[in-house]
Structure 1
Amino acid sequence: MSRVHTLSRRQFSAGLAAAAAVGLPALAQAPLTKVRYQLDWRFEAGTIPHIVALRKGYFAAEGLDVSLTVGIGAAATVNRLTTGNFDMGTGDMSSLAEFAANNGQVPAKAVMVLYETTPAAVFSLKKSAIAKPADLKGKTLAAPITDGARRIFPLFASANGLGPNDVKWQTVDAALRESMLARGQVDAISGYIASGLMSLQRLGVKPEDIATMRFSDYGVPLYGNAVMATPTFLREQPNAVAGYLRALTRGYKDALMDRNGAVALLKAHEPLAVDAIELQRLRIILEDEIGTAAVRKNGIGQFDLDRYQHGIDALAKVLEFKSVPKAADLVDMKHLPAAPARMIFAA
């Protein structure tokens, strides 16, 4: 069952008071615009900026009534945005291109890039002696079918001399992936850096026993996740899209300035979260995934259409797209916050 989280009336009122306290514009009696948001993953560090914006009243201050639904992978978000049940979501840029190419329709447009480079990786235990891509030949990897890293693995394989049948995939539930690796039931798994590393450590695997191959270090220069909005919502509620991005940017700034406070808000949202694990996961996401040199210089959110097109073209060859979509048709940058507001690392 999908997990959806909105605020109670008392929490909502508290959020408005908090927003007023930090100088955000007060809301009049105008009705709030509902935004049904599909997250890429569970309530953990990667979704903290959304939770911060929700619980601190930043969405409310923008006139938005936001519901956050947990996800099962960034690739799955793209499909879920076609159902009509969601207005916006965090999806994988490569999966967006693949869907458009093979279905002849644009299910959503990316409105704010979050990961300048894909956080996709292959994890193994060092005792398995998988130190380079060639060592994966003949091995069994596990991941959900909706895993963003698994979806683009063929490009990683092609860039490193692996054939399409050189590895065997075992489709597993996301909750079982890391435990299967820890127990030695599979040779390796695919996933995203922060989630994979910390989930393995939570299972008792020591950091020094984990071997990691990041796709971006092995010839895969793709974008990762982005905030997306459906064409209908973009057309009918452009102000809501812009407001969501402004509030989310504030959430990122707050998470950077007060990581302990951000994790405390996560804990209030998800009582099962482990503070120490989520603090480490948040550090990896903010410093290694979000905080690239380009983002530190130019701010979060901006797309390079030529670079995205290059990635689409590369994927089209190895995944045998039915057609090759244009990057410009999959991106809409009109609703990004102004450049100064997007400088989340300025402080």
Structure 2
Amino acid sequence: MKLRFMLFLTLIIFIITACSAPAPAPTAAPTTAPAANPQPELRTVTLAMSYIPNIQFAPYYVAAAKGYYAAEGIEVNFDYNFENDVLQRAATWPASGVAFATTSGTSVLLARQQGVPVKTVMTLYQRFPIAFFAKANVPLASVNDLRGQTIGIPGRFGESFYALLAALYAGGMTEADVTVQEIGFTQAAAVMEDKVPVAIGYAMNEPVQLREQGVEVNVLLAADVFNLAANGIAVSEALIAQEPELVRKFVRASLRGLADTLANPAEAFDLSLQFIPEAQLGNLDLQRKVLAESLPFWQNELTAQHGLGYTDGQLWARTEQFMREAGLLAGPVEVEKAYTNEFVPGGSY
């Protein structure tokens, strides 16, 4: 009996001890870091540009550098060209691979007259950026001062030639009232060396170069004589019909870059240097002045009212009429089909 009691007591003590002992620590389960959310793949689109890498493209560079295109799910391939077929390449999207092209309104009107289905969806230059320039001893107060002058132009093509014809048109003159001399792309040197008294070039380029060399210049802006539809972004009608949202995203990001460039040119200049080869930078102080001179051409009272990138239909109508009467267009063009403002948001960016 005593033995049974001792065994029972031992069992009770064992049970109490076991129950009061701390539970063994659970074996840690193997852990793995949670999978990061994969970033959506960016869609690459090509922007065919009508010139070499240049500070004039700062708004697009800023949009790329600050991630505005990426925020829209796209990555822009800057495709530089000397050739004049950027519109033709955009027109044949998607076969060409070129979705967007930088080009002038005059070029779009010429293309459409030839049956090329392209349309401007954003205007960068609200004022035609061409200018007549001369040394300070040559008067250039108005278009009448061109009468009887020898005027140097790169050739009978492109924006400089159109500006000359438009100025003569506005002044009631013909080529018989001036002497036109084709000098290639040597306008600044030709004026500097007195090879021609007057030359035509980009307002933010050749006159700025001459001033940088200490030459005082007189400038007559083509836009102050007869403004023409100027540079912007054009796309094919097929792209608009098939992928309007892609067009909207590209324009929206580009206009954010433009707004930032206007608000902070110094930052825009520094960001742009990432996209311009060092060998093409040249004089940085000169290039900063080129950018500064460009800013007023990208905005006006209409952009203040309708938003940056706005296309002025009345300006395009006047341009089309001039081009017909000057013989640049063989026949009328439906101007309202050559551009659209549907992708340009109003207000601020």
Same fold (TM over 0.5): yes
Give the aligned partner of residue 17 of structure 1.
none
Instruction: Give the distance between the partners of 1:158 and 1:69, measured in 2 at CA.
Output: 35
Separation of aligned partners in 2, 1:66 and 1:223? 25
Counterparts of 1:243 and 1:52, CA distance in 2: 15
Match of 1:339 in 2: 346
Counterpart for residue 261 of structure 1? 267
Are residues 85 and 144 of structure 1, via their aligned partners in 2, closer, same or farther at CA, if it must alter by over 3 Å? farther
Separation (CA, whole Å) in 1 of partners of 2:62 and 2:208: 21
**1:192 is aligned with what amino acid?**
Y
Partner in structure 2 of residue 282 of structure 1: 291
TM-score when normalising by structure 1: 0.78
Q: Which amino acid aligns with 1:276?
A: D
Partner of 2:309: 301
Counterparts of 1:282 and 1:196, CA distance in 2 = 13
Q: Secondary structure at the match of 1:87?
A: strand
Q: Is the contact made by 1:78 and 1:92 (CA closer than 8 Å) also made in structure 2?
A: no
Change in CA separation of 1:66 and 1:150 when aligned onto 2, cut-off 3 Å: same
User: CA-to-partner distance for each residue in 1:288-312, whole Å, 9 max, x for gaps?
Assistant: 2123122223321223324422321
Per the alignment, residue 112 of structure 1 pairs with: 122
Is 1:234 the equivalent of 2:240?
yes
> 1:271-299, CA deviations, whole angstroms, 9 ceiling, x for partnerless residues?
2433322332222222x212312222332
Map of 1:312 onto structure 2: 320
- Letter of the 1:133 counterpart: V
Root-mean-square deviation (CA, aligned residues, Å) is: 2.7
Aligned to 2:209: 199
Match of 1:13 in 2: none
Q: Tell whether 2:201 aligns with 1:217.
A: no
- Mapping for residues 12-51 of structure 1, pairs under 5 Å: 29-51=39-61
Contact 1:267 1:275 in 2 (8 A): no
Identify the match of residue 156 of structure 1 among 164, 167, 180: 167
Q: Does structure 2 conserve the Cα–Cα contact (< 8 Å) formed by 1:72 and 1:146?
A: no
Correspondent of 2:101 among 89, 112, 115: 89
Gaps of 5+ in 2: 1-36
Identity across matched positions, percent: 19
Give the letter aligned to residue 284 of structure 1. E
Task: Tell me which amino acid in the other structure corresponds to 1:329.
Answer: K
- Equivalent of 1:247 in 231, 234, 253: 253
Structure 1, unpaired ranges of 5+: 1-26
Structure 1 distance, partners of 2:294, 2:162, is 21
Give the drift of 1:321: 2.0
Assess, with a 3 A threshold, how the Cα gap between structure 1 residues 161 and 246 changes in structure 2: closer, same or farther: same
CA offset at residue 217 of structure 1?
Answer: 1.7
The structure that has the greater radius of gyration is 2
2:150 pairs with 133, 136, 139, which one? 139
- 1:90 deviation in Å? 1.7
Retained in 1: the 8 A contact 2:149–2:198? no
Contact kept in structure 2, 1:89 and 1:227, CA below 8 Å: yes
- Point out 4+ residue stretches in structure 1 off by more than 6 angstroms: none
Q: Distance in 2 between matches of 1:215 and 1:256?
A: 23
Question: Aligned-pair distance for 1:325?
Answer: 0.6
Q: Return the offset for 1:46.
A: 1.7
CA contact (8 A) 1:150 1:191 kept: no
Q: Map Cα deviations across residues 11-68 of structure 1 (whole Å, 9 max, x no partner).
A: xxxxxxxxxxxxxxxx965443332112244433321111111122221221212111
8 Å CA contact 1:142–1:186 kept in 2: the answer is no
